[in-house]
Amino acid sequence: MKFTTPATTNVIDRERYVGRPYDRIDGPLKCTGNAPYAYEHHKEVPNAAHGYVVGATIPKGRIVSIDLDAARRAPGVLAIVTAATAGQLGKGSKNTAMLLGGPRIEHYHQAVALVVAETFEQARAAAALVHVNYAQEQGRFDLAAVKGSAKPAPDGQDKSDTRVGDFERNFELAPVRLDASYTTPDQSHAMMEPHASTAVWNGDKVTVWTSNQMIDWCRTDLARTLKLPKEKVRVVSPYVGGGFGAKLFLRADAVLAALGARAAKRPVKVALHRHLIFNNTTHRPATIQRIRIGAGRDGRIMALGHETWNGNLPKGKPEHSTLQTRLLYAAPHRMTATRVAELDLPEGNAMRAPGEAPGMMALEIAMDEMAEKLNMDPVQFRILNDTKVDPEKPIRPFSERRFAECLRTGATRFGWSKRNPKPGQVREGRWLVGQGVAAAFRNSPVLTSGARVRLASNGLVTVETDMTDIGTGSYTIIAQTAAEMLGVPVERITVRLGDSDFPTSAGSGGQWGANSATAGVYAACVKLRELVAARLGVNAADAEFVDGKVVAGGRSLPLAQAAADGELVVEDKIEFGDLDKKNQLSTFGAHFVEVAVDTITGETRVRRMLAVCAAGRILNPKQARSQVIGAMAMGIGGALMEHLVVDKRLGFFANHDLATYEVPVHADVPHQEVIFLDEEDEYSSPMKAKGIAELGLCGVAAAVANAIYNATGVRVRDYPLTLDKLLDKLPLAV
C-alpha cells in the first residue's frame, strides 16, 4: 500500500481499540521471567558454550603478536577466535573490522579475541591468559584540543551547513545580542540488558538470537560480514532490554558469537560485560556549541546562528546538534554549521534523539538567556518567535504544529504565573527554589514497514513482523491496530515480533517505529479485509468488521467463516510517498521543571516536572506516558549527573560501569505529569500518529538548567550541572 494522499476518515478513527490505555501484552511474561532475552534462549539452544571477549588495552596502534598457548591449555576451552583465525571478513554498512580488531587497533576495548569454553567462568579465566603485545601510537582524546582541526561533516541526509539571508550582518545590526558557548559531555546508553547474542550453525546457515533494534539492518550487515547470502542468516530478537540507539547496528557480540560457534562447532553465547559496553560499543559524543541570537527590542529574532563541534573516529558520523535550530524558531536570517574532528575514543553514534537532545541542551538555555536580556517572560519569548512554516524553506508548512499551545497549556497547568522571574529570590530554609521551561522538539520520520496477518478457522488472528519491542510497547499497539481493523478483541490476537523470517518493518529507533510499524500492520489488514470480503461475497468498501463479524448489505457473517476452508494469509507493507517532503513532519512539546538547590552543599533536587506533548494520535496513552516519564528521568541524568570521564592520557572512558557512571535512581525522580494534546496528523500515515519516545527527552536538561538559574542566579553552560559548578557561586544560607 502506498500512502500518497492525506489520510481522511478511516477505520482507525473509530478508536474502539486504538487510542485506549491497554496494559502491555508482554507485561506478565516480563514480570514472571518468562520473556527470553538474547542470552536466555535455553530451550532453543540447550547446550550453548560461553564466549568471553578480550578487549584491547591501548586506544590506538597495532597488535604485534598474540600468545594464545596458555589460554588454549586452560580447562574447558573449546576455541579461540582472533582476526587472524577468523579469516577475511566482509564489510557491512560500516567498517566491520572495527568489531574485531587486528592488526590495527582503532580504540580502547576494541575486541581482539573471543575465548570459548564450556562455562562462563572457564572462558573468563582463560581470557585472562591471552597475552597481547601492542605497538601503541599517539592518540587524540580531547575535543577542545582538536576543535581547530575540525572539518565540515560529510553531506548526507543532514547537511553540514545551512544558510538563509545574511546572518552575520543582521546579527551585528541587532540591538539585543547573545553570543555564548555551551558544552555537552560524552554519555553512555547504560541500558539494563547488555549487548548479548547466542549463535548456532545448521550446516551453512546461522541463527543468531541477539539484542538488536533493527532486525533487517543487523541481518544484512551480519551476512556481509560473514560473506554469506542473506537467506543463510536468521536474526531473532523478540525482546530487547533497552537500546536507546546503542543496538541499532550490528555489534561485536553478534559477530563474535557467530564466529565462535563456527570455530567451536557448538552453539555459543556472548555477552559484553559492563566495562566493554561503555568502551567497546557506541556512545553519545561530546559537543562544543556556539549560539548567537540577535533580536529587536520587541523580542522578535532577526538573526539566529548555531555552530557545533564534536569528535569521532575517522569516517565516523557527526552529532548534528543544529537540527532543531533549523526548524524550531522563526528568524529571517539564519545559519547553522556542523564540524567534526578526528578523535581516537570509542565510536560516537546514535543515542536517544541524536542531534536534537544535545542541541536542545544548548539552544534552550540560550533562549532563556536571550529572554532575560529582553526583559521578557521566557514562555512568551518562545511563543512570539513561533512559526507555521519551515524557516529554511518557507514554502513548506508544518503538517501540524501546536508548539504555542503546548507552552500555554503547560504554563497554566504548572502555575507559571506564580514564578518569581528574578533569580535567587525564593527560599525555603537553606534551599533556593526555582522554575524553568524549555521547548520540546523532535522530527517524526516514517519508513517503509511490512507485516503478515493470518486468520485461522477459529477466528484467531496472528500478526508477524520483524518489528522489535525495546520496552516501548510494540506488541500491544500492533495488537490494538489489528483489533481495530478486523473487529476482534485484542485478546484474540497473537503478535509475533523480532524475527528476520517475518516481513521487514521499520524497526525501533529515531521516533519512527510506532507510527511506521502500525501503518504497515494497517496495510496488511486492509489486504486481509479485502480477501475476507471476497470469500464471504460482500463488498469490502461497505463492510464493517466488528465484534468478530463482517456486516455488509444487510448480512452479518462470522469473520471466521472466511477461513473455514483453511487459514488465510496476507502480507503487505506501507510505502510513503512525498508527503513528508511537501510538509514538515515534527513533534512539539514543552517541559516545565521546579528545582531546589541546597545553599550549603550545592545539591540540586528536581521537585516536579510537567511535559506537554503534541505528537499526533496517541496509540496507547498508558504506554506513551510511560515512554515520556522515562525520557524525563533520562533528562534529569543528562542535566545533573551523566558524564563519561575521558582519561586524556590513556584514551578511554574511566567511569565505565554503573557504580561510577551515575544515572538517576528513584530518589532522584520527582512527581511527573504528562499532558497529550488531542491531535491527529493526517499527513503522517493512515494511523495519523507520530512518535513520542524522544520528545520526552529533548529539552528536559535545559529546563532543569533554567530552573537552577532561576533558583540561584548562577548560570552554568557546561553539562552536567554538578554541585562543584555551583557551590562557590551560591549566595550564603540565611
- Of 193, 188, 187, nearest in space to 273 by CA: 193
Question: In angstroms, rounded to a whole number, what is the distance separating the alpha carbons of residues 140 and 244?
Answer: 27
694 is catalytic: yes
Helix axes 700-712, 356-373, angle to 10 degrees: 30
Where residue 352 falls (left for φ over 0; alpha for ψ -120 to 50; beta otherwise) is beta
Contact 730, 649 (CB under 8 A): no
Q: Which residues contact 410 (CB under 8 A, 6 or more apart)?
A: 416, 437, 590, 591, 592, 610, 611, 612, 675
What's the Rg (C-alpha) of the chain? Answer: 27
Query: Dihedral, CA atoms, 194, 195, 201, 205, nearest 10 degrees?
Result: 140
Contact 93, 82 (CB under 8 A): no
**697 is written with which cell numbers?**
527527552
Q: Bridge partners of 464? A: 452, 496
**CB-based contacts of 407, cutoff 8 Å, min separation 6:** 379, 382, 383, 437, 439, 590, 612
Q: Which residue has the cell 592520557?
A: 649
Q: Distance of alpha carbon 573 from its chain centroid, rounded?
A: 23
CB 269 within 8 A of CB 197: yes
DSSP 539-582: -TTT-EEETTEEEETTEEEEGGGGGTTS-EEEEEEEEE-SHHHH
Are 56 and 276 within 8 A, CB to CB? no
Which has the closest alpha carbon to 486: 444, 531, 528? 528
Q: Name the one residue in this structure whose C-alpha cell is 482507525.
A: 12
Instruction: Report d(CA 68, CA 81) in Å as an integer.
Output: 10
The Cα 274–Cα 279 span in angstroms is 9
| Residues present in the chain in total | 734
The Cα–Cα gap between 143 and 506 comes to: 34
- Rounded to 10°, the helix 252-264/215-226 angle is 50
> What does the H/E/C string look like for 115-145?
EEECCHHHHHHHHCCCEEEEEECCCCCCHHH
**Can you tell me whether residue 685 is helix, strand or coil?**
coil
CA atoms within 13 A on the CB side of 182: 32
Catalytic position from the list 307, 356, 484, 694: 694
Q: Strands, DSSP E only, in 408-512? A: 427-428, 431-443, 449-455, 461-464, 493-496
Which of the residues are catalytic? 694
